[in-house]
Structure 1
Amino acid sequence: MAQATMKKIAMSSACIMVGITRRASARSLATSGKNLSAKKKERELPAEGEITKSVFMSQSTDIYTNLALEDWMYRNMDFSNHHVMMVWRNEPCVVIGRHQNPWLEANVPLLSEREIALARRNSGGGTVYHDRGNLNITFFTPRERYDRKYNLELIKRALFRGFGIKSTINERQDLIVRDKYKISGTASRLSRLTGYHHCTLLVNANKADLSKALAKREHGIQTNATPSTPSPVANLAELDNRVTVDSLQTAVGYEYLRTPALHLGDGGQDMISKQRGFQFVNPTDDWFPGLAELKNELQTWDWCFGRTPDFTVSRNFPVPAELLAPSKVYSATEELVINMSVVKGLIDDVTLNIPPGFVESGFHGEASVITHLKGKRFTSEALSALQEAMLTRHMNTDVKKLDEKEQFVAKCFDQVVNTI
């Protein structure tokens, strides 16, 4: 794909030569900002005319690799006189913000079933779905020259110049078409020296898969985690079938290169010729030493799930009449209530409020349930611990499976930890 994209760029109407960045030059660009000295006074940044630009094109389609590359550049590169726009795409995945709850934001059981990656990025903002029909863009600058409005206006201009598509920027700084359809979300990260703003553009993403992956369900979760704001979405290809990920990458890339670094002018072909152009980058340890370590951290359970802000869960489940003691008449529906607190993705406390009719019918596993569940992950790992706890009371008998009442409790618990 990378070679095909490069061929299209080279054959386009622009007059600059674009080539694959050699390893040495990529590494020199990447390492130019190492060992930046800490300065308490305000930095003196170069004038606009001294700043050059590059469009980096990641050769990976793995979400963890691309997030690691983004983070590596943020930590190690000096963007004082060299601004960078990175373009990248991924295989199907769901990406949540740094302060979000994955069980609230995504259909976690479905992702597991379909082997769709779930990733937590380092920036804030809401949850997004990626597949090969998305173009992801990251703008890197010094912190003092971080300008989200500039970046979004640049994309707007590229859409209109390249395809005649009109878009607007709403109050949440999303890109909108036809007055209400979202084509791009946005998020950012800032340090003392560096800032980046990134967004994803929907080109021809699978909207059915997007809807299923981000489906909201009954979960009973209470939390202070940052929630996403659902919006109707549209693919750019629905507006103009000429828009593909490759053609959009080219259009936005050239718009970036023809635009002065600090204001929204149009330098045209003359400015393009002064830039560093399009460069393929290979996100490996050979090019970016230490990248593998960053990637490994980003794909751990402790990062993706364990960094979730603390939350509580409360769910009520009507008990079927056939599981209640038959000798009593009940004035209301008898309910099993499961309450749980979760800290760092692990169950910290759990209580079962068991209706009298259910207790009288023979269920008496509450104490062992609480003991066995503390410290377990808020996943099917906890369900397994629950089933094991209830089975322990059968150890001195010939019964080797859960009875109907225990199966009902396990089914309810499954719906809690899998948020079905």
Structure 2
Amino acid sequence: MASMMRKVAMSNMLVLVGLTRRTSSRSLTTGKNLAKKARNELPPEGEVTKSVFMSQSTDIYTNLALEDWMYRNMDFSNHHVMMVWRNEPCVVIGRHQNPWLEANVPFLSDKEIALARRHSGGGTVYHDRGNLNITFFTPKERYNRKYNLELIKRALYRGFGIKSVINDRDDIIVQDKYKISGTAAKLGRLTGYHHCTLLVNANKADLSKALAKREHGIQTNATVSTPSPVVNLADMDNKVTVEALQTAIGYEYLRTPALRLDDGGERQILKQRGFQFVNPTDDWFPGLSELKNELGSWDWSFGKTPEFTVSRSFPVPAELLAPSKVYSAAQELVITMTVGKGLIDDVTLNIPPGLVESGFHGEASVITHLKGKRFTSEALEALEDAMLTRRGDVKKLDDKEQFVAKCFDQVVNTI
């Protein structure tokens, strides 16, 4: 075994076994055929082979589409698959999360870092090429995340001497406190997958900024991530690279039987289908681009956000208040919005007396103009247009309107 891994390391290549343009007929069935599968048809462990699929894409939407395509179309009854993949910088949120609450959306926009919503639940993670992402596919009845995490734990120790533990949240922890991996899963009627990410040499500065938490004023029932201290594996041992870790975990997966955590060694490896590069394109996976386009759309990434309410208060500058007036209470503009499916359902402007008496009125026509707009700069543009429209031929907002627009901008563009 050691000689085999040294040979792989020297060539800087992974073993390539049985690479084909299409998934084999033993593995791929149509949805109609999958529906015919019954629980008692699952083969015994000895008849189940394994493959390690290595995605050749580093695009988050392509890789999530590939994961979804395999989940929808492949039959894993007698062929379990571990897919390894990595991405250019991106933030990936869980299926039921709020991106405006979980990610620093303005920072992502400025840095051109993609934001994606996956199909599985769980919390938010940052990916870049210093992360190794792993997805384990099995029939639903044989889904076992503990088995998968133990494989990773064993590979870390066998390959690099790194000791780790699995906590009650199914995170992988090193040095008693640092998280190197989080877990999420999706279970369907026939198929299940468990995926996780491993921090190898990620850009921790960008990770921190991309997931920065601030006071948002958001109330929601969306799933909220639990922050944890993290560490890169490369900081513990500089021999750990994404490629080396991919090889170590891949061999640990292949040397282990499908259902038990026994060490079958080289004999077990030779029974498997090995490592296979996969090219996530429509030629290999018909219909993949359609899945990718859906995952990359605003309607999916932001529009699937559970309903939330955001409320922010802004002190009104003294120069905008009515002159020669003394107010007993602080004069604050309060903006409250209800957002559903990423669109503004309702807006309330609580305008303080000092701003009203100085000439500003939040007319119903202005508020109505915002409903149905995306919770983005699109809403700000609609607000500015509405305020200008009600004043006829005026081409520029006055000082009070500019203040309201600036506050509105802070609500939709700085959370």
What TM-score comes out, normalization by structure 2 length?
0.95
Distance 2:244 2:397 in 1: 58
CA distance in 1, matches of 2:82, 2:185: 14
Contact 2:131 2:242 in 1 (8 A): yes
Deviation at 1:365, TM superposition (A): 3.5
Equivalent in the alignment of 2:275: 278
Q: 1:240 aligns with which of 223, 237, 258?
A: 237
Equivalent of residue 223 in structure 1, options 220, 238, 249: 220
Amino acid at match of 1:148: R
User: 1:18-417 alignment to 2 at 5 Å?
Assistant: 18-19=15-16, 21-24=18-21, 26=23, 28=25, 31-32=28-29, 34-39=31-36, 42-396=39-393, 399-417=394-412
Rounded to whole Å, the distance in 2 between the matches of 1:45 and 1:346 is: 45
The 1:21–1:281 alpha-carbon spacing in structure 2 relative to 1, beyond 3 Å, is farther
Amino acid at match of 1:282: N
Which whole-Å CA distance do the structure 1 matches of 2:7 and 2:378 have between them? 52
Distance 1:235 1:11 in 2: 24
SS in 2 for 1:375: coil
SS at match of 2:176: coil
Q: What do residues 218-274 of structure 1 show as CA deviations (whole Å, max 9, x unaligned)?
A: 211100000000111110001100000000000000000001110111001111111
Mapped to 1, the partners of 2:17 and 2:399 lie a distance apart of 64
Q: Give the direction of change, closer, same or farther, for the CA distance of 1:150–1:122 in structure 2 (3 Å limit).
A: same
Mapped partners of 2:24, 2:396: distance in 1: 60
Matched residue SS, 2:40: coil
Q: State the aligned residue count.
A: 411
| Cα distance in structure 2, aligned partners of 1:12 and 1:311 | 50
8 Å Cα contact 2:53/2:278 also seen in 1: yes
Query: Match for 1:359: what amino acid?
Result: V
RMSD after superposition: 2.0
User: 1:415 is matched by which residue type in structure 2?
Assistant: Q
Alignment gaps of 5+ in structure 1: 1-6
- Give, in whole Å, the separation in 2 of the partners of 1:116 and 1:37: 37
Q: Report if aligned partners of 2:116, 2:296 keep a CA contact under 8 Å in 1.
A: yes
Question: 1:389 Cα deviation (Å)?
Answer: 1.0
- Give the Cα separation in 2 of the matches to 1:143 and 1:57: 22
Cα-to-partner distance string for 1:190-243 (whole Å, 9 max, x where unaligned): 011100000000000000000111111221110000000011111000110000
CA contact (8 A) 2:39 2:141 kept: no
* CA offset digits 1:47-82 (Å, max 9, x no partner): 111110000000000000000000000011011110
- C-alpha offsets along residues 392-418 of structure 1, whole Å, 9 cap, x if unaligned? 23323xx42111111110111011111
Q: Is the 8 A contact 1:306 1:346 kept in 2?
A: yes
Deviations 1:92-131 (A, max 9, x none): 0000000000000001111112111110000000000000
1:418 aligns with 2:401: no
- Give the Cα separation in 2 of the matches to 1:22 and 1:87: 16
- C-alpha separation in 2, matches of 1:279 and 1:40: 26
Deviation at 1:31, TM superposition (A): 2.4
Native 8 Å contact 1:119 1:298 kept in 2: yes
Q: 1:309 to 1:234 in 2, by over 3 A?
A: same
Query: Given the superposition, is the C-alpha separation of residues 30 and 326 from structure 1 closer, same or farther in structure 2, using an over 3 Å criterion?
Result: farther
Cα distance change of structure 1 residues 34 and 357 upon mapping to structure 2, 3 Å threshold: closer
Give me the TM-score of the superposition, normalised by structure 1: 0.94
1:417 is matched by which residue type in structure 2? V
Contact 1:9/1:18 (<8 A) preserved = no
| Aligned mates of 2:363, 2:390 — CA distance in 1 | 12
Taking a change above 3 Å as real, the CA distance of residues 24 and 323 of structure 1, as seen in their structure-2 partners, is closer
Distance 1:320 1:9, change over 3 A: farther
**How much has 1:351 moved relative to structure 2?**
0.9
The secondary structure found in structure 2 opposite 1:23 is coil
